[in-house]
Amino acid sequence: MSNITSQKFPLQSVLKLNSNDFKEFICGWGAAVINVTVTFPINKVIFRQILEGIPVGAAVGQISREGIRLLYRGILPPLCQKTLSLSLMFSVYEGSKQRIYLLTGSDVLGKVLAANIAGTSEALLMPLERVQTLLQDWRYHGKFKNTSHAFRYLLANHGITECYRGMVPIIYRNGLSNLMFFTLRDQSKILMGEHESLLTNFVCGALIGGFTSTIFYPMNVIKIHMQTKIGGNFEKFLAVTREVYISRNQSITSFYKGVHLNYMRSFISWGVINAAYDFLKSILF
């Protein structure tokens, strides 16, 4: 048994994987910091459209009237969540994929399982996403002063489980979008070959990220409608989907309210993330 194990997992390979995991984590973290800072105002406009079903002009008008002081209200949770989330996304995916391949010899199985493992790992950080939702909702402006105040309120009055309200759509979104993103990203690198550059990495990341986020956009709509509520029973995924569908004139297109801005934000952010990630990776590796 020990001989088989040593053949499949030689010490040198294991040490190399562990070292690479840390480098992948750092690359994902660095790329995320730039992304969140640049795209937060756009994300806030999209949030208002999702929450209230209003046009982009009305959402921008709301935020403009609130003033510059509140423009970046709620940025700390996504800054913490996205930096950790992207770090986990890249490092857990790459590390899991390589280890599963060593175990099974199947590249396809490795990608599928790694994408879901990475997505579930990211979902552990969802309390930050939960608080961000509350801080961006104008109905809670007078209730919560800041991130720590919102956390204290949820924990003191409703317990840790309240921080994980809306977890099901997040797991669905993370696992499926990770699989699509990394699959298309790998294919783009094969197509680019020796022509790969910082510009091509930006363009490929932008197109893939924009497309992926658009496909799974309805998951964010369902997640936000779950997370803007505090206390009470946890709603079922299908029940919330039906509720949103009925409340918005039974239209499938209503699940895509704000998708244009979301695509623009994702196009920019994933372009930056992909280019910055590959640039940092070329240095660290």
The number of domains in the chain is 1
Query: What CATH code is carried by the domain that includes residue 170?
Result: 1.50.40.10
Q: What is the pLDDT of residue 207?
A: 97
Q: What is the pLDDT of residue 216?
A: 95
- What letter represents residue 168's amino acid? V
Q: Is residue 73 part of a domain?
A: yes
Residues 6+ apart with CB under 8 A from 5: none
Q: Is residue 3 part of a domain?
A: no
Q: What's the whole-model pTM score? A: 0.79
Q: Is residue 50 part of a domain?
A: yes
Q: Is residue 235 part of a domain?
A: yes
Name the token pair of 63.
């935020």
Q: Is residue 154 part of a domain?
A: yes
Per-residue pLDDT of the chain (285 residues; tens, 9 = 90+): 444 444 445 555 555 567 788 888 999 998 998 788 878 888 888 888 888 888 889 999 999 998 888 888 888 888 887 888 899 999 999 999 988 998 899 999 999 999 999 999 989 889 988 998 998 888 998 999 888 999 999 999 999 999 999 999 999 999 999 999 999 999 999 998 888 999 999 999 999 999 999 999 999 999 999 999 999 999 999 999 999 899 887 788 888 988 888 898 899 989 999 999 999 899 887
Structural domain including 229 reads 8-284
Whole-angstrom CA distances from 216 to 85, 100, 107, 150 are 17, 26, 24, 28
What letter would DSSP give residue 124? T
Name the token pair of 68.
């510059």
- What letter represents residue 38's amino acid? V
Q: Is residue 2 part of a domain?
A: no
Q: Is residue 51 part of a domain?
A: yes
